[in-house]
């Protein structure tokens, strides 16, 4: 039990020991039945008076966290799932978060800036955890038994991630399943009734228009609500300082540059292929063209880990990894929702969040987005 004492803290020494024992139990480092150090041993290791350890152990024993047995030493009595330990764990989390928020606010950051930074880094850490799980050949599975569920299929987007986080706060009883299958994959999922909503950003080569031509072709005659999420900036992401001196898509032809691509069917892939064709660049001329990942964050992570030199993605993700960014395109990201879903109770909360000033302010703080038309809705059919 690696207890540490802070002699300069305002918290009494015995209380520091108490809190750390509870934390060890909450985190699973100490389990029910584990033996705690003897009073004399712990006092010697910490270079403190034995009475301080006695007081800490007595307080823990009063709350049935530990139990002392004559001749049997001091044992852990509580489990990590015990109500008192769960309450302690949650209180510590809230206190830590509250302290950090107050510190940031005192440094003149706005609540919207703090929330945007929080969601950006949560998204990054989730992506890194997924990437690590893939490396270990582990699958993360979610239960699909819940009837009260929203299934979202489509293109990865940080503003959509933020929307999901806010929705979960307001509707914790609704299960949300998000599948990053690309924009075309999202529309096909709607066509096959495997999704309640699709997130898309598809540029039509013939008309130069976003999304609507594809919706008309893939979902003809369907009654739909097209809710605008945001305009966003797409461009090239590369290592800070631009060591390869990348100036545009034309540099993807260079033999010293390794590209990392988005999956087939994603709006970003459609955008890339369209522009490569315009420039007369063939896929086989781009080193790494066939290396595919499913999200903008995974592209940024690959570049950060030096598995690639450059990738096409949204500006919003580069901040999290400290990458440089060359803006190239402004694109429209829409949510396609069948009318019967749009009119449902769950989606009423969904639309309420999208149209709120709170959501727009946080998205603006993420960077790389424009929310002047966020929440505007067009109906088809």
Question: Is the sign of the CA dihedral 76, 82, 84, 90 positive or negative?
Answer: positive
Asked if the model's pLDDT at residue 267 lies above 60, the reply is yes
pLDDT band at 265 (very low <50, low <70, confident <90, very high): confident
Please provide the CATH number assigned to the domain covering 1-108.
1.10.10.10
Compute CA 272 distance to the chain's CA centroid, rounded to the nearest angstrom.
25
Read off the pLDDT of each residue in 151-160 and give the average, rounded to a whole number. 92
Hey, is 298 helix, strand or coil? helix
Burial of 351 (0-12, 13-18, 19+ CB in 10 A): middle
Average pLDDT, the chain: 88
Read off the pLDDT of each residue in 194-223 and give the average, rounded to a whole number. 92
Asked if the model's pLDDT at residue 131 lies above 80, the reply is no
Domain residue ranges of the chain, discontinuous segments joined by +: 1-108, 149-380
**Range in 50-59, 123-132, 306-315 with the lowest mean pLDDT:** 123-132
The pLDDT score that the predictor gives to residue 129 is: 58
The pLDDT score that the predictor gives to residue 92 is: 77
Residue-wise DSSP of 139-170: --------SSEEEEEE---HHHHHHHHHHHHH
Question: Is the sign of the CA dihedral 184, 187, 190, 192 positive or negative?
Answer: negative
Asked if the model's pLDDT at residue 146 lies above 70, the reply is no
Cα 129 to Cα 73, 135, 138, 142: the distances in Å are: 40, 10, 11, 15
pLDDT band at 331 (very low <50, low <70, confident <90, very high): very high
Read off the pLDDT of each residue in 252-267 and give the average, rounded to a whole number. 94
pLDDT band at 373 (very low <50, low <70, confident <90, very high): very high
The pLDDT score that the predictor gives to residue 144 is: 33
pLDDT digits (tens, 9 = 90+) for 23-41: 888 888 888 889 999 888 9
The pLDDT score that the predictor gives to residue 237 is: 97
pLDDT band at 368 (very low <50, low <70, confident <90, very high): very high
Residue 35 bridge partners (DSSP): 75
Asked if the model's pLDDT at residue 156 lies above 70, the reply is yes
| 347 in Cβ contact with 199 (< 8 Å) | no
**Would you say domain 149-380 falls under CATH 3.40.190.290?**
yes
Asked if the model's pLDDT at residue 132 lies above 60, the reply is no
Read off the pLDDT of each residue in 187-205 and give the average, rounded to a whole number. 93
The pLDDT score that the predictor gives to residue 113 is: 82
202 against 134, higher pLDDT: 202
């Amino acid at each position: 039990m690696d207890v540490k004492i802070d002699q300069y803290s305002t918290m009494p020494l015995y209380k520091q020991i108490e809190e750390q024992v509870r934390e060890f139990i909450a985190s699973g480092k100490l389990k029910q039945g584990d033996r705690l150090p003897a009073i004399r041993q712990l006092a010697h290791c910490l270079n403190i008076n034995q009475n301080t350890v006695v007081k800490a152990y007595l307080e823990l024993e009063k709350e049935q966290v530990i139990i002392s047995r004559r001749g049997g030493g001091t044992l852990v009595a509580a489990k990590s799932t015990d109500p008192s330990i769960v309450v302690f764990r949650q209180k510590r989390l809230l206190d830590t978060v509250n302290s950090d928020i107050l510190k940031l606010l005192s440094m003149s950051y706005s609540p919207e800036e703090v929330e945007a930074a929080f969601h950006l880094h949560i998204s990054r850490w989730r992506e890194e955890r997924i990437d690590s799980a893939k490396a270990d050949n582990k699958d993360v599975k979610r239960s699909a038994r819940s009837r009260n569920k929203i299934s979202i299929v489509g293109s990865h987007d940080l503003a959509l991630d933020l929307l999901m986080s806010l929705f979960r706060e307001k509707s914790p009883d609704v299960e949300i399943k998000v599948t990053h299958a690309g924009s075309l994959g999202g529309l096909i999922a709607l066509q096959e009734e495997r999704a309640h909503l699709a997130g898309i950003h598809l540029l039509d080569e013939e008309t130069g228009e976003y999304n609507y031509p594809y919706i008309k072709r893939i979902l003809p005659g369907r009654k739909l609500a097209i809710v605008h999420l945001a305009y966003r900036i797409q461009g090239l992401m590369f290592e800070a300082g631009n060591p390869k001196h990348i100036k545009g898509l034309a540099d993807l032809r260079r033999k010293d540059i390794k590209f990392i691509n988005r999956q087939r069917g994603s709006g970003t892939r459609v955008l890339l292929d369209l522009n490569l064709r315009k420039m007369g660049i063939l896929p086989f001329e781009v080193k790494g063209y066939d290396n595919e990942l499913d999200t903008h964050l995974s592209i940024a992570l690959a570049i950060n880990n030096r598995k690639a030199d450059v990738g096409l993605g949204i500006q919003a993700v580069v901040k999290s990894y400290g990458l440089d960014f060359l803006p190239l395109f402004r694109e429209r990201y829409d949510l396609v929702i069948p009318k019967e879903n749009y009119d449902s109770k769950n989606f009423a909360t969904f639309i309420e969040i999208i149209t709120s000033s709170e959501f727009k302010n946080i998205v603006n703080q993420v960077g790389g987005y424009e929310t002047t038309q966020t929440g505007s809705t067009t109906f088809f059919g």
